[in-house]
Structure 1
Amino acid sequence: MAGGITDTGEPYSPFVGLVYMFNLIVGTGALTMPKAFAMAGWVVSLILITFLGFMSYMTTTFVIEAMAAANAQLRWKRREQEEVDESDSNSEYSEDDIRGRAETETRPMLSVQRSVGHIDHFDIVERVEMGQMASMFFNKVGVNMFYICIIVYLYGDLAIYAAAVPLSLMEVACGNHSCSAGSVKYNDTDQCWGPVTRKDAYSAFLGAFTLMLGPFTFFNAQKTKYLQILTSLMRWIAFTMMIFLALLRIGKGRGEGQPPAASLSGVPNLFGVCVYSFMCQHSLPSLVTPISDKRRVGSLVVVDYVLILGFYVLLSFTAIFCFDSSLLHDMYTLNFTDNCDVLDIPVLRYFLGLFPIFTISTNFPIIAVTLRNNWKTLFYRDGGTYPWVVDRIVFPLITLVPPIVVAFCTRNLESLVGITGAYAGTGIQYVIPALLVYYGRRHLEPVMGRDAINKHRSPFRHTAWVWFVVVWATFCLMFVTANIILTDIKK
């Protein structure tokens, strides 16, 4: 995210792009969604997740339009540079040459586009990350605010990952595996093994997690293709199992869930969880640019969001009607590891319990390195270099220590996901895409002309939609903040 223009990677078909986008969006947030649904009520949850899915789709189209605008601006600047280089290479010009050059430079870019035939300056052929787009379209303050928002979001991501892995390990190591009772809620002071309490076990697993994965923050980590395939396969096996088992139990008339239709006290947290669960805007440049045929990108995004919305509703509704709301875990997979009445095959119960560990652990080093690089970019000055100690020690430490400290202080995943989504997630998913497309249009109009048509422009092309997103984001932040303050006052 900290970088600028890079190679696009190996091209793939629109169908593969659809699968990649689906896998990108459906992640850890989906596992915290069932409890959020149960706390907010099934009617309110259905309405809110549908609306937030629509809002996320809208801002996704904004980012794609901004990507096309960034590609067009880069081509325009490259053409200007070529003309400067050409003028420098020629020592003499006639008066007619100078007059002709002046006329060419005053024409809108679209006329140049037509002269080269089939080339469209709005083609998305170069990968321009969001940080680079911010540098192109925002002023210095806007760029700094962008990086601060990204950094806060990545800190939240790391804190969620750092808490989820030891929490899952603790539940697997200390949970009920005897099939002698149903799902049980444990206290932190309950014994795990010997004199070791569950809280002690969580701290020990978190310490081991930090020692094993923390060192990757000091180096560069790359996600391999085969590791992606393996984790995606595990994810879909686990999700399919959970949906099937919950449906099977409900079909047998043994569902315990009786969720309320509406509970406004759970709405703020549900909002944060849903925003976090629809997050993909920051990764769209890496995902969309390699698609070989981008004529159907708009249809691809629509299909993806409809499928994802349907999946979230299916996963959450089967969960809240299968399990009693008071027994739903922050991490939904844990409801299958300590309830043998739902799943009495030990191997499969251990698989579901350990599933988040494998998938999250592979992402933690990559997110950490991304956060470290964003810190470097935020403080970078042209022509400057960092001392070795700052570059190799200070930046990795300020990346790693805060989320680990947060994970030591709390393992409430629902709150971590809700806060991350409600604050930093709102900025990344709503405010930044809206401002990128708005200022992208303003930057291109002087050089492209008013009649230029961006073939990747958003269906929500009227400026009123941009301001609607900004106003909605502002309202959401005020609502969530007010609810947190009132909750603290009541306590």
Structure 2
Amino acid sequence: MAGEITETGELYSPYVGLVYMFNLIVGTGALTMPKAFATAGWLVSLFLLVFLGFMSFVTTTFVVEAMAAANAQLRWKGMESRQEEDDDNSSTASDSDSLLQDNYERAEKRPILSVQRRGSPNLFEITNRVEMGQMASMFFNKVGVNLFYFCIIVYLYGDLAIYAAAVPFSLMQVSCATGNDSCGVEADTKYNDTDLCWGPLRRVDAYRIYLAVFTLLLGPFTFFDVQKTKYLQILTSLMRWIAFAIMIVLALVRIGRGHGEGHPPLASLSGVRNLFGVCVYSFMCQHSLPSLITPVSSKRHLTRLVFLDYVLILAFYGLLSFTAIFSFRGDSLLDMYTLNFASCDIVGVAAVRFFLGLFPVFTISTNFPIIAVTLRNNWKTLFHREGGTYPWVVDRVVFPTITLLPPVLVAFCTHDLESLVGITGAYAGTGIQYVIPAFLVYHCRKDSQLAFGPGAVNKHRSPFHHTFWVGFVLLWAFSCFFFVTANIVLSETRL
């Protein structure tokens, strides 16, 4: 069945879907996690990581349930429209006497308890890909739909700003270190943006030059349509896992030889804000679940497989972060963890140093155009008028420009990746990961009861089906907004 083709594309096995979800979740956020762990303390980091992983799993099951409910409604509407067409055809082709006879026969054959037919578990099969925007339009009112798109757009802007800063920052770190010392920068060396890079050029000048080149090379893709090929996905996933494996092994070897310098505290509340944002960002997958889960061939044990995925991701994040904070001193950990391996005392092989240093450049550069096009299309959908089309200038110039310009300006002003990831995750990420799934599952349950009756059984119903969990997720989301905002205000007041 893995090779079957449907309207959702080629189907794949549940275990292939598990790998795809793993690759989707484990991304750029993982590279900023070690510094966040060292800043917040290992005990509070471990607790928060496990708790946020659990909360992300809860809302993932909410999205899956909403996908099944959306499929059921679309399937039922299709059945009703076909029934109406059949009735129209039969009424046209027969006289009034035969029409009465046909209606009588159909009434005799129709089950008395039509709710049971409506509530059939087969209605809730996830076979059509229903994106979150479509689910929002099905279950939310106009205000809710607009708020949904606002949240998605803010998150994608944050994503693009992180990517636009990460690539030039990595290039600056590697090239400036090579320019000053052929063996690379020492892990505990701290540089300022005003320090010299090459000749009279400062490090910040080199960063902005790389940002300009990055924008000129990848920015034009925002004005066209690009698609992520399967082979490009395989290549970037392979590079990612090679890089992660090398970093974990090198950190373990460093600790095993007694060269570990890290002595992280148990807890430090001053670092919790960024840690929270980084962890939320690092578990982000809810917005991509429809395109990821729909092609899975067998969804019988879908919830168990998703749970297994989260357990593996938690173990991986813990292994990566704990080996990092005990291998390197907290004040020497860089925003992009790969850059801690750019010195000879850590890595003796020059090729490995350059591979790790430039790893974010290769993987992030392939994702930037795809996210930019996604953001551009969301802008178009938000302002779409029924039956209307955009002028060529608006469609091909205005929308791509408002997509590309803000994240590049943010990256021009700052390359503080930990703060960018933390703020994006803490605000827009909280909305996408907690608020939207909670409201989706709440409204889809109400709509399903009205459409199919209280006896309808959603075969993909979340294990957390009690209304308490919806309220708990929303309360947690509100607490997160309040905590992060208060922490930012207090930090600014101290300054």
TM-score by length of 1: 0.95
Partner in structure 2 of residue 285 of structure 1: 290
Partner in structure 2 of residue 367 of structure 1: 371
Contact kept in structure 1, 2:152 and 2:432, CA below 8 Å: yes
Match of 1:209, SS state, is helix
CA offset digits 1:303-357 (Å, max 9, x no partner):
10000000001000000111111111000000001x2211111100000001100
- Following TM superposition, by how much is the alpha carbon of 1:85 offset from its aligned partner in structure 2, in angstroms? 1.2
Partner in structure 1 of residue 431 of structure 2: 427
Q: Give the distance between the partners of 1:207 and 1:276, measured in 2 at CA.
A: 26
Match of 1:295, SS state, is coil
Partner in structure 2 of residue 186 of structure 1: 191
Q: Give the distance between the partners of 1:59 and 1:40, measured in 2 at CA.
A: 25
Pick the aligned partner of 1:406 from 407, 410, 422: 410
Pick the aligned partner of 2:308 from 293, 303, 311: 303
Pick the aligned partner of 2:146 from 137, 144, 155: 144
Partner in structure 2 of residue 41 of structure 1: 41
Alignment of 1:118-137 (within 5 A): 120-137=122-139
CA offset digits 1:109-138 (Å, max 9, x no partner):
532576xxxx81111011000000001110
Contact kept in structure 1, 2:119 and 2:453, CA below 8 Å: no
Seen in structure 2, the aligned counterparts of structure 1 residues 99 and 39 have a Cα distance that, compared at 3 Å, is farther
Q: Does 1:201 align with 2:206?
A: yes
Seen in structure 2, the aligned counterparts of structure 1 residues 374 and 109 have a Cα distance that, compared at 3 Å, is farther
Pick the aligned partner of 1:453 from 431, 450, 457: 457
Q: Give the distance between the partners of 1:168 and 1:99, measured in 2 at CA.
A: 75
* Larger deviation, residues 438-447 vs 19-28: 438-447
Q: Give the distance between the partners of 1:462 and 1:113, measured in 2 at CA.
A: 19
Q: Give the distance between the partners of 1:379 and 1:438, measured in 2 at CA.
A: 26
CA offset digits 1:207-229 (Å, max 9, x no partner):
00000000000000100110000
Contact kept in structure 2, 1:179 and 1:341, CA below 8 Å: no
Contact kept in structure 2, 1:272 and 1:419, CA below 8 Å: yes
Contact kept in structure 2, 1:25 and 1:277, CA below 8 Å: yes
* Larger deviation, residues 264-273 vs 176-185: 176-185
Contact kept in structure 2, 1:438 and 1:466, CA below 8 Å: yes
Q: Does 1:334 align with 2:336?
A: no
Partner in structure 2 of residue 3 of structure 1: none
- Following TM superposition, by how much is the alpha carbon of 1:437 offset from its aligned partner in structure 2, in angstroms? 0.7
Seen in structure 2, the aligned counterparts of structure 1 residues 388 and 51 have a Cα distance that, compared at 3 Å, is same
Match of 1:294, SS state, is coil
Q: Give the distance between the partners of 1:326 and 1:169, measured in 2 at CA.
A: 21
Identity %: 69
- Following TM superposition, by how much is the alpha carbon of 1:79 offset from its aligned partner in structure 2, in angstroms? 1.1
Contact kept in structure 1, 2:119 and 2:457, CA below 8 Å: no
Amino acid in the other structure paired with 2:235: L
- Gaps spanning 5+ residues in structure 2: where? 1-5
Seen in structure 2, the aligned counterparts of structure 1 residues 181 and 279 have a Cα distance that, compared at 3 Å, is closer
Contact kept in structure 1, 2:118 and 2:456, CA below 8 Å: no
Q: Does 1:391 align with 2:402?
A: no
Alignment of 1:351-366 (within 5 A): 351-366=355-370
Match of 1:256, SS state, is coil
- Following TM superposition, by how much is the alpha carbon of 1:86 offset from its aligned partner in structure 2, in angstroms? 1.6
Contact kept in structure 1, 2:38 and 2:325, CA below 8 Å: yes
Partner in structure 1 of residue 3 of structure 2: none
Alignment of 1:263-274 (within 5 A): 263-274=268-279
Q: Give the distance between the partners of 2:287 and 2:354, measured in 1 at CA.
A: 33
Match of 1:155, SS state, is helix
Partner in structure 2 of residue 325 of structure 1: 330
CA offset digits 1:16-43 (Å, max 9, x no partner):
0010000000000000000000000000
Amino acid in the other structure paired with 1:110: Q
CA offset digits 1:73-126 (Å, max 9, x no partner):
001111111122122212345446546767959954532576xxxx81111011
Pick the aligned partner of 1:480 from 461, 484, 491: 484
Amino acid in the other structure paired with 2:136: A
Q: Give the number of aligned pairs.
A: 481
Seen in structure 2, the aligned counterparts of structure 1 residues 141 and 261 have a Cα distance that, compared at 3 Å, is same
Partner in structure 2 of residue 210 of structure 1: 215
Contact kept in structure 2, 1:76 and 1:109, CA below 8 Å: no
Q: Give the distance between the partners of 1:95 and 1:42, measured in 2 at CA.
A: 76
Q: Give the distance between the partners of 1:488 and 1:396, measured in 2 at CA.
A: 34
Contact kept in structure 2, 1:206 and 1:408, CA below 8 Å: yes
